[in-house]
């Protein structure tokens, strides 16, 4: 029934929905009239209410869907390209509306399937055990309500012995009751922890496979702070999900059990009438509830941005300190912080007004309704009632009041949990966006803002690699365009062949695409066209200008990304590593640190730029790949060290591909790929000596040319005289 009613339908679909509704209404009416008992009539009234509710939400869904469609059509017409979906995290994220709709349910179900992989999983077992304690708690509460009534009855009758006996039983039942409470708290925390572990494991598997982490940070701009999402939002989602189960499942169960028990004692129609009033006020409250889910998602995003700004400062502390850039950094940090605080304050204010309304309705309005309901058996004589004496009336009132308090507390918690559901929706949207973006990236679909040549007009678009890539012992590019993730075409079509044993020098002005060529070779950037033949990823080793020094021991700096176990499996010993250090005059490092190979330090800070470059070269000598990309990686070492590095690398049979502006490096290469920065290039053999001689001759001539205006002026002077 439900899907038919809420479907954003075509005219034919809408007519079918209306027919279904009419049929349901007439069926329900007939059943209501046929049934005589109060409880069954109450059930039918409740069904009517549910049906009316469903129709209302169905209509609201249809309106929202139509509005969404119209908006999407307008945006498409305006931009002319595929827009980023509105729930993406980047710039579009601020417009995102976190709603309790099917999209949320789908996203939530996907996450639930990850955190509870099956009925046999330990999480499912924990959930079942948690549910058992939830039911037990409700049954114990029912028993306690009845015992309360009986205690007061004994008191009113003045029967001291009965009173004491009942107090004793009350104390006894407190034992399983408190144990159940502790078990519930334990189960909830355990569930949150397990959900987090499952989700983190799943995300880590995806994030650190197929270079997804690189795609998220460099090729796609939908996720700004993946670290915040993984470290903070996943935790909040897990806590929120486990809390919500307890906060929803128990109150719902309580509501059902107490309402049935209450309707037996105060009459079904009374309960339904009160429920109607409660439902009405709940609807008003829902309409007045601000979109807390969106608020929470925005707050998490702003928190992430603020933290990211601090991480940047820590990462670049030295550069900022040398620039004396603390004032500029403080301004940026303050701006980030105050944006966050402004938003948090805004949420607090909205919570204040909402809390006032919520408290009044739930505690006092519904409380008064409850008292009216409990008094029913006292003032109205129900058929079949056995309440005659004062003691009976007191017992009935106390028991009913206790049950009603629990039922209204349960209903209140369900109502309060609307806010929690909205918050869960916020975290669900953030975590599921991360999963979706990771899926997209693994499928080769990147989404990045494209900046037009004028630099002003921005359009979102989806970039997808369509070139062909084959594995081969040599490197061959055939008509391959080099396009930056921003969509800038750096070189329209690049073709060259490099055989193993040839050594390539890549030169050109800044930003012309030298490093980008290697990003394509390393599989970091998609191949947008043409054909690339290249060796397997493991045969190419990359050394950047600023080497990456990992956490860990000195040994791990040399063998990165291998582990010590992988090193031993390759048959390499510490003595072999020491020999590599000697080649690069780095052996003093072993004496400098008392624990030798096992010494640990923040290597990025304790080693100078030149030493770091030599460590990176030692890494190359340890791995001995077939190809090495050396991207300005000797800029901080002396010419002597550079010579040792290049001679040793060539001696190990490594084919070199160098990006450098240094002329001293020409002699180590056989080919040159020269970009002009305008999209053109030349690929040719490199005769270093001849080229150096030509360069020198050119420079001499340029010096002469610079003197020509002076010579001409002098000639003119002389002519005049
Ligand atoms: N992740 C990225 N996202 C967007 N644009 C990028 C990205 N990485 C590089 N670019 C752009 O691609 C262009 C080429 O960059 P590349 O690093 O290849 O230059 P390069 O020739 O190596 O320059 P340099 O000599 O300065 O190192 C530059 O305009 C750069 O801004």
Angle at 249 between CA 246 and CA 251, to 5 degrees: 95
423's tokens? 């918050």
Report d(CA 708, CA 714) in Å as an integer: 10
The helices-and-strands tally (H runs, E runs) of the chain is 25, 12
Buried b vs exposed e over 627-657: b needs ≥16 C-beta within 10 Å? Answer: bbbbbbbbebbeeebbbbbbebbeeeebbbb
Which of 223, 451, 509, 513 has most ligand 1 atoms within 8 Å of CB, for mutation?
A: 513
Task: Give the separation between CA 256 and CA 25, rounded to whole angstroms.
Answer: 24
Which of 220, 515, 629 has most ligand 1 atoms within 8 Å of CB, for mutation?
Answer: 515
Asked if residue 487 lies in contact with residue 453, where contact means CB atoms within 8 angstroms, the answer is no
218 Cβ inside 6 Å of ligand 1 = yes
Q: Which fold has domain 467-686?
A: Rossmann fold (3.40.50)
Token duo for residue 127: 């959930």
User: 515: CA distance to ligand 1 center in Å?
Assistant: 7
> How far does the centroid of ligand 1 lie from the alpha carbon of residue 516, in Å?
6
Beta strand 540-543 with 475-483 is unpaired
Dist. CA 714–CA 386, nearest whole Å? 131
- Closest-CA residue to 635 (of 607, 615, 661): 661
Task: Tell me which DSSP letter residue 103 carries.
Answer: H
Non-local (6+) Cβ contacts of 291 within 8 A are: 97, 98, 99, 422
445 close to ligand 1 (CB < 6 Angstrom): no
CB contact set of 429 (below 8 Å; sequence gap of 6+): 87, 96, 98, 104, 107, 293, 297
Which residue owns the Cα nearest ligand 1 atom 20?
511
Compute, in angstroms, the gap from residue 675 CA to the centroid of ligand 1: 13
pLDDT reported for residue 485: 82
Backbone angles phi, psi at 476, to 5 degrees: -140, 125
**Does ligand 1 have an atom closer than 6 angstroms to the CB of 515?**
yes
Report which protein residue has its CA nearest ligand 1's atom 3: 485
Q: CB of 510 closer than 6 A to ligand 1?
A: yes
- Exposed/middle/buried for residue 626 (C-beta within 10 Å: 0-12, 13-18, 19+): middle
Torsion of CA 375, 376, 382, 386, to 10 degrees: -10
- Is the CB–ligand 1 distance for residue 512 below 6 Å? yes
Q: Verify whether ligand 1 is closer than 6 Å to residue 516 (CB atom).
A: yes
Ligand 1 touching residue 511 (CB < 6 A): yes
Structure tokens at 347: 């949420």
- Atom 18 (ligand 1): residue with closest C-alpha? 513
Distance 510 CA to ligand 1 centre (A): 8
Q: Tell me the CATH number of domain 101-438, given options 3.40.50.920, 1.20.1560.10, 1.10.10.10, 3.90.226.10.
A: 1.20.1560.10
Identify which of 651, 680, 681 has the alpha carbon closest to the alpha carbon of residue 668. 651
Q: Are 329 and 313 in contact (CB under 8 A)?
A: yes
- The tokens describing 574, both together, are 């510490």
Beta strands in 413-503 (DSSP E): 445-451, 458-464, 468-471, 475-483, 489-498
pLDDT of amino acid 486:
80
Mutate to test the pocket of ligand 1, among 448, 494, 514 (most ligand atoms within 8 A of CB): 514
Q: Give the tokens for residue 398.
A: 């106390």
- The DSSP annotation for 541-609 comes to EEE-SS----SSBHHHHHHTTS-HHHHHHTT--HHHHHHHHHHTT-THHHHHSTTGGG-B--HHHHS-H
Q: CA-to-CA distance for 450 and 463, rounded, in angstroms?
A: 10
For residue 561, cis peptide bond before it (omega within 30 degrees of 0): yes
Atom 29 in ligand 1: residue holding the nearest Cα: 511
Backbone angles phi, psi at 295, to 5 degrees: -60, -45
Using alpha carbons only, what angle is made at residue 429 by residues 233 and 109, rounded to the nearest 5 degrees?
105
DSSP symbol at 654? P
Q: What is the pLDDT at residue 29?
A: 64
| 518 Cα: distance to centroid of ligand 1 (angstroms) | 11
**Is residue 93 a contact partner of residue 294, using CB atoms and an 8 Å limit?**
no
Q: Is 484 in the pocket of ligand 1 (CB under 6 A)?
A: yes
Cα distance between residue 480 and residue 529, in whole Å: 5
Task: Tell me which residue has its CA closest to atom 12 in ligand 1.
Answer: 484
Count of beta carbons in the 10 Å neighbourhood of residue 683: 16
Nearest residue by C-alpha to atom 30 in ligand 1: 511
Which of 512, 524, 528, 657 has most ligand 1 atoms within 8 Å of its beta carbon, as the pocket-test mutant?
512
Dist. CA 646–CA 122, nearest whole Å: 56
List the residue whose alpha carbon is closest to atom 1 of ligand 1.
218
Ligand 1 centroid to 698 CA: how many Å?
30
pLDDT along the chain (721 residues), means of 10: 36 52 63 55 56 53 53 43 35 48 88 92 93 88 82 80 87 89 92 95 93 88 86 93 85 77 68 74 79 83 88 80 82 91 91 82 74 67 59 70 71 74 88 93 77 42 69 93 87 93 92 90 87 91 86 89 91 93 90 87 86 93 93 88 92 93 88 91 86 82 88 89 81
């Amino acid at each position: 029934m439900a899907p038919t009613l809420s479907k954003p339908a075509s005219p034919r679909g809408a007519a079918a929905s209306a027919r279904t509704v009419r049929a349901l209404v007439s069926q329900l009416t007939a059943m209501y009239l046929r049934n005589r008992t109060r409880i069954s009539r109450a059930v039918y009234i409740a069904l009517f209410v549910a049906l009316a509710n469903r129709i209302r939400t169905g209509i609201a869904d249809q309106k929202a869907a139509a509005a969404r469609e119209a908006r999407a059509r307008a945006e498409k017409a305006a931009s002319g390209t595929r827009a980023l979906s509105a729930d993406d995290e980047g710039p579009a994220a601020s417009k995102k509306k976190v709603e309790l709709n099917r999209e949320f349910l789908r996203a939530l179900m996907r996450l639930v399937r990850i955190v509870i992989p099956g009925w046999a999983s330990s999480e499912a077992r924990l959930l079942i055990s948690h549910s058992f304690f939830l039911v037990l708690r409700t049954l114990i509460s029912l028993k306690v309500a009845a015992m309360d009534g009986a205690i007061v009855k004994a008191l009113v009758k003045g029967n001291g012995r009965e009173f004491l006996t009942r107090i004793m039983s009350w104390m006894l039942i407190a034992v399983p009751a408190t144990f159940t409470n502790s078990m519930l708290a334990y189960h909830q925390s355990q569930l949150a922890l397990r959900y987090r572990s499952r989700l983190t494991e799943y995300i880590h598997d995806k994030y650190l496979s197929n270079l997804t982490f690189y795609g998220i940070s460099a090729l796609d701009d939908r996720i700004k702070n993946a670290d915040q999402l993984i470290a903070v939002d996943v935790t909040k989602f897990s806590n929120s999900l486990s809390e919500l189960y307890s906060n929803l499942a128990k109150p719902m169960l309580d509501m059902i059990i107490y309402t049935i028990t209450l309707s037996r004692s105060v009459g079904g129609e009374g309960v339904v009438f009160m429920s109607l009033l409660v439902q009405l006020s709940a609807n008003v409250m829902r309409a007045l509830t601000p979109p807390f889910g969106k608020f929470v998602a925005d707050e998490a995003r702003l928190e992430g941005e603020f933290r990211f700004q601090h991480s940047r400062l820590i990462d670049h502390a030295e550069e900022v300190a040398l620039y004396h850039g603390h004032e500029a950094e403080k301004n940026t940090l303050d701006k980030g912080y105050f944006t966050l605080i402004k938003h948090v304050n805004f949420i607090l204010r909205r919570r204040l007004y909402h809390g006032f309304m919520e408290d009044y309705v739930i505690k006092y309005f519904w409380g008064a309704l409850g008292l009216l309901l409990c008094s029913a058996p006292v003032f109205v004589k129900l058929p079949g009632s056995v309440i005659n004496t004062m003691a009976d009336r007191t017992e009935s009132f106390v028991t009913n009041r206790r049950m009603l308090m629990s039922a209204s507390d349960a209903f209140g918690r369900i109502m309060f949990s609307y806010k929690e559901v909205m918050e869960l929706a916020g975290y669900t949207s953030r975590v599921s966006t991360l999963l979706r973006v990771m899926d997209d990236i693994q499928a080769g679909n990147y989404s990045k803002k494209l900046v037009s040549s004028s630099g002003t007009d921005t359009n979102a678009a989806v970039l997808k690699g369509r070139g062909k890539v084959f594995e081969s012992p040599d490197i061959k590019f055939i008509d391959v365009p080099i396009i930056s993730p921003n969509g800038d075409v750096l070189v329209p079509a690049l073709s060259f062949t490099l055989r193993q044993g040839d050594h390539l020098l890549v030169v050109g002005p800044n930003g012309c695409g030298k490093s980008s060529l290697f990003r394509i070779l390393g599989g970091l950037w998609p191949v947008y066209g043409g054909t690339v033949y290249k060796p397997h990823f493991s045969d190419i080793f990359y050394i950047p200008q600023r080497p990456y020094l990992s956490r860990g021991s000195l040994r791990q700096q040399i063998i990165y990304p291998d582990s010590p176990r992988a090193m031993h499996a390759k048959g390499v010993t510490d003595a072999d590593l020491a020999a590599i250090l000697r080649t690069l005059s780095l052996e003093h490092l072993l004496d400098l640190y008392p624990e030798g190979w096992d010494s640990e330090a923040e290597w990025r800070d304790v080693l100078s730029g030149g030493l770091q470059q030599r460590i990176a070269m030692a890494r190359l000598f340890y791995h001995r790949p077939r190809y090495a990309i050396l991207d300005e990686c000797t800029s901080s070492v002396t010419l002597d060290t550079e010579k040792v590095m290049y001679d040793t690398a060539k001696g190990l049979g490594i084919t070199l591909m160098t990006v450098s502006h240094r002329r001293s490096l020409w002699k180590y290469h056989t080919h040159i790929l020269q970009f002009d920065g305008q999209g053109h290039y030349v690929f040719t053999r490199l005769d270093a000596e001849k080229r150096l001689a030509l360069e020198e001759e050119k420079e001499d001539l340029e010096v002469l040319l610079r003197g020509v205006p002076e010579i001409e002026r002098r000639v003119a002077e002389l002519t005049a005289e």
